[in-house]
């Protein structure tokens, strides 16, 4: 058995998180293997997004341990570097900058890296072409369809070749054709690049595409 299988790429142990009197996460445990596609489902308010925010180091747990690539997130001194290089983030509302075209939106995570301006442009155009957005490189988000905007967001999340892609309801605002396209992209990322994918979703169609589905309820995973 390989070392990657012995040490999971994501390991969550006894994690708790509260907001005032609300217990968002209650002693949560989860292991995700390298290259696995995991869907997290459950009703609104069950703790799904809170868990994703902790994985992205956008917040910290009250107690417990979260490790990515065997590194405890509490020990990381440069969380910006972690979010820039180790993970990619995709949200339901894509959070693209409306005044920048698609190419420049994809270039944003590469700012401050070793890549030159020419290399950033080349990488952005490469990703947009891979996501079937040729001819849309200079379109701003208001000029793109919902599915196209989400594909730009996925391209942006992949700009620095992260090992882990975290997606919060990435298909929630898309029509059925765009959902199918995004699902195909996620499967391709896992198969061709070995990217580990964790998706929060209410859509049973999305959950069915994952290797494994876990359900949250009241801050815990269902047994």
For β-strands 10-19 and 87-91, DSSP reports them as unpaired
Higher pLDDT, 131 or 49: 49
pLDDT of residue 6: 60
Banded model confidence at residue 4, pLDDT cuts 50, 70, 90: very low
Contacts 24+ apart (CB under 8 A), 50-54: 50/17, 50/24, 50/25, 51/12, 51/15, 51/25, 51/216, 52/166, 52/168, 52/198, 52/200, 54/15, 54/17, 54/25
Would you place residue 112 in the very low, low, confident or very high pLDDT band (cuts 50, 70, 90)?
A: confident
User: Do residues 219 and 62 make contact, with C-beta atoms less than 8 angstroms apart?
Assistant: no
- Output the 3-class SS for the chain: CCHHHHCCCEEEEEEEEEECCEEEEEEEEEEECCCCEEEEECCCCCCHHHHHHHHCCCCCCCEEEEEECCEEHHHCCCHHHHHHHCEEEEECCCCCCCCCCHHHHHHHHHCCCCCCHHHHHHHHHHHHHHCCCCCCCCCCHHHCCHHHHHHHHHHHHCCCCCCEEEEECCCCCCCHHHHHHHHHHHHHHHHHHCCEEEEECCCHHHHHHCCEEEEEECCEECC
Domain ranges of the chain: 3-86+162-221, 98-159
pLDDT of residue 223: 61
What is the fold of 3-86+162-221? Answer: Rossmann fold (3.40.50)
- Chain centre to alpha carbon of residue 192: 17
Please give the pLDDT value at position 2. Answer: 44
Residue with tokens 């994501």: 10
pLDDT at 20 over 50: yes
Cα–chain-centroid distance for residue 75?
A: 21
Which pLDDT band, with edges at 50, 70 and 90, does 3 fall under?
A: very low
pLDDT tens string 133-175: 999 999 999 999 888 888 898 899 889 889 999 998 888 777 7
Q: At what angle do helices 117-130 and 146-157 cross, to 10 degrees?
A: 130
Q: Are strands 212-217 and 63-68 parallel, antiparallel or unpaired?
A: unpaired
Percent of the chain past pLDDT 90, that is, above it, reads 54
Residue range 207-220: average pLDDT? 93
């Amino acid at each position: 058995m390989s070392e990657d299988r012995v040490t999971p790429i994501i390991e969550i142990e006894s994690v708790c998180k509260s907001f005032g009197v609300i217990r968002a996460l209650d002693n949560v445990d989860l292991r995700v293997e390298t290259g696995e596609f995991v869907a997290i489902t459950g009703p609104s308010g069950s703790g799904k997004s809170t868990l994703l925010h902790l994985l992205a180091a956008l917040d910290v747990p009250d107690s417990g341990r979260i490790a990515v690539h065997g590194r405890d997130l509490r020990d990381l001194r440069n969380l910006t570097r972690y979010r820039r290089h180790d993970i990619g983030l995709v949200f339901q509302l894509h959070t693209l900058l409306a005044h920048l075209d698609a190419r420049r939106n994809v270039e944003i995570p590469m700012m401050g890296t070793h890549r030159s301006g020419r290399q950033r442009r080349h990488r952005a155009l490469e990703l947009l072409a891979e996501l079937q957005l040729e001819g849309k490189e200079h379109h701003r988000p208001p000029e793109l369809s919902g599915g196209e905007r989400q594909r730009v967001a996925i391209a942006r999340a992949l700009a620095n070749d992260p090992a882990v892609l975290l997606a919060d309801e990435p298909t929630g605002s898309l029509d059925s054709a765009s959902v199918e396209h995004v699902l195909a992209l996620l499967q391709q990322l896992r198969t061709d690049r070995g990217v580990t994918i964790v998706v929060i979703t209410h859509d049973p169609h999305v959950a069915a595409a994952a290797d494994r589905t876990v359900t949250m309820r009241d801050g815990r995973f269902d047994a």
